[in-house]
Structure formats: C-alpha cells, structure tokens
Structure 1
C-alpha cells in the first residue's frame, strides 16, 4: 500500500484526528456524568468531575480517567484488525488512518518519556510514581506498538520511512497547536465559553460539529488514503518460428 498525499484524503485524516480527540475527552466526561449525575468543567484537553463528585469518590475519578485511553487504544486495535495482510487495500487504508489518527506518539511520549498521561496518573493512585511510570509506560507500549508495527508493514514504496514518520510524529504537534494553542486560548478569553450540550462549552460543541461535518463529507477518502501498488506482470511471450 502506498499513501496518497493529496488534499482530500489528508483533509479526511485531519477531520478524523480531531473527531477522535474530542471523542477521547467525551468518554472521560461522559463516564463522569454517568457515575456522578452531573457534568464537570472542561476545556479541549483538561477535564474534571463535578464538584459534588470530585472528592470522596476516588474510584469514580480513576474509572473516568482510564476510560479515555481505553477508547483510544480500542480505536488503534480496530485499525490493527483492518490492516490484516489479507484485507483489501481500502480496509487497510482505513486501518492505517485509525491507527495514526489516534495519535499513538502522544500516548507514548507522555507515559514512557514524561511520566504523565492518564495511564500513569491512574496507576500512581495505587503505587509509587516511579513504579506507576514504569508499569504505565509498559502498558502503553503494549497497547500502541503492535498496531504501529502493522501500519508500517502495510506500507510500500521508496518514501516508506518518511511517510510513516510524518503520520506518526506530525499529528500531535498539529493537534496541539490547534486545540491547546488556538482554541483553548479562545476559550480562556471567554469566547463561546457558556456550557451547553454534553457538558461542553459552546466553542467545543461548535468545533466538534464543524469537524464532524467535514468528516461526514470526506470519510470515503479515508478508504483511498492508501492505494495498492500494482505488481508487474510477466513479460509478454515472444513467438519464435
């Protein structure tokens, strides 16, 4: 499979990236709402339980904390299944998009190298931070590396290493610049900061609706992000009298 770097598949990939990022946060806050009966405050990447539930219920907080990465890892493993060597190119293309749009680099960077992220935070409630860091990092590696290996194995072509590295590394700074830099700054300034549906500020709701609409209009191009590489056929037969 060769990745096609044209604007339609890349736009679909970017929309998927942002939809999955918001879905990750909604899994956190949605489980908190289900367990607590109320929504807590949030922005584009930081959330907490509502005030009546934030203290005295540590296991509720831990469940909501672990739900986000569990969802993200599940997306990556769906991609792993779609990247099976016997799958058609269209499914492999979608699988590649799901694996890399779940931003495994961010999970590895946070848990393995920085000692943070949801995984380490949750484990640190049961053990010392160094042990939580080691165990959390190991779990993240086990959850992310097999889908990444299969995504790498599905690629072909001369630019294979650079294409893989681009899709592995670039989604994180791109998403961070948009969500944490631009949009969180707008939200902090009070722009559309009133809370609305799903316990989210209106800015988050409007952003989610916008990227969701883009994904709905372009999702079919996720099936063409990766194209099969034609294999040369046998040389034509020659006739010798």
Structure 2
C-alpha cells in the first residue's frame, strides 16, 4: 500500500497585541490617548496594526476607555503601520518605527468627518513647485489617501481649489486651475469618477502667508479639498 504524503499548511494571525514569540524585554509599549483633534475629547476607536514588511502578523484592538487611554504592545526595532477608525471620524493612518525605549508616548488625534462646506485635512497638503502644475511624487500618496477616503464615502463630492504664490511667469489664475485639474485627472486615473470632482481656481487671491522666505512662499502653492456633499 502506497503512503500518500500529507502537507499541512497553517496560517497564523494574532488579534492580541503581544506577539507570542516576543519576550517581555523585547516589547515596546505604545501608549497615549485617542482624542478628537478639535475638542480633545476621548473617542471610542478601533486600532488595526500590522508588522512590516511581514503582512501576516497583525492585531486589532478596540478601545472605549472613558479617558481615551490606549496601549499597544509592540516589538522593538520593527516598523508598523497603524490605522485608527471611529464612527463619524476620518481614518487615521501612520507608520511607526520602534526602538529600544520601553514606552513610546503618542496621542492619536482623529479629525471629524467634514460637513458640506468644510475642508478635508489629510496627512499632508498637496503642494506644487514654483510655476509648475506637475504632481510631486510625495503628493501622490496624499491623493491616494483622498481616493481611499472617497471610496469609503461613495456619495462624497469634492471641490479641488487651486492656489498660487505671488508672481510667476504665466497667468496665476490659469496656473491654479491647471493644478486643480492635474489632481482631478490623477484621482480619475485612480478610479474616482469625474462627476464627483469639481475644480475652482483662485490664483493668488487667498495667500496663506505674505512672508518672502522660500519656505513660507511654498505654503501658497497648493490645492485644497472642500466637501460639497457627503
């Protein structure tokens, strides 16, 4: 009688924040409060975290403490991605590199879902170089973050508002319009329908700052995101 070899494949995923193979001396305690970014009030939230680049080691924790306190037990010298979600709030995503510290204090600030007429604040602003409407590499991640948000809220309609700094080699109104349209095109390429995206050009009529330093003037060259419907 022939013996048929049996191959057993196992998948392991933990929902606990302490990895079974990590010793207490190898742990880092990420701790702080989960708060409303505007009111500093505690928020009930779910925290999902994942060890990178290993994708099958992850955890999900729910926190509903009255003071907003949370704690995650992570491994030293590792990179994690975290996603914090709560009802009526925008999801918060961040990357964390642990070190040898026994404790890493970090408050997680959640921004309320904007109402029509409000502006969306993502992990960064969509900035542009002087006189250009080309999407920067670092802005691509911000636009992809916006795309994920619009997928989460399929009825959301936004208005992309283009802005420029003072001066320049072409019409500032035209340049600000080009910047808004480039972001719209990028979103459309990512699968967001054009009918959900309006654009508006402001030129240099809404400067954030009038300081003449290079860093200050950069703040004016941007596209902002206004919610029209949700």
Normalised by the length of structure 1, the TM-score is 0.24
Query: Which of structures 1 and 2 has the larger relative contact order (alpha carbons within 8 angstroms, sep 6+)?
Result: 1
* Structure showing greater Rg: 2
Normalised by the length of structure 2, the TM-score is 0.25
Q: Larger % of strand: which?
A: 2
Q: Larger % of helix: which?
A: 1
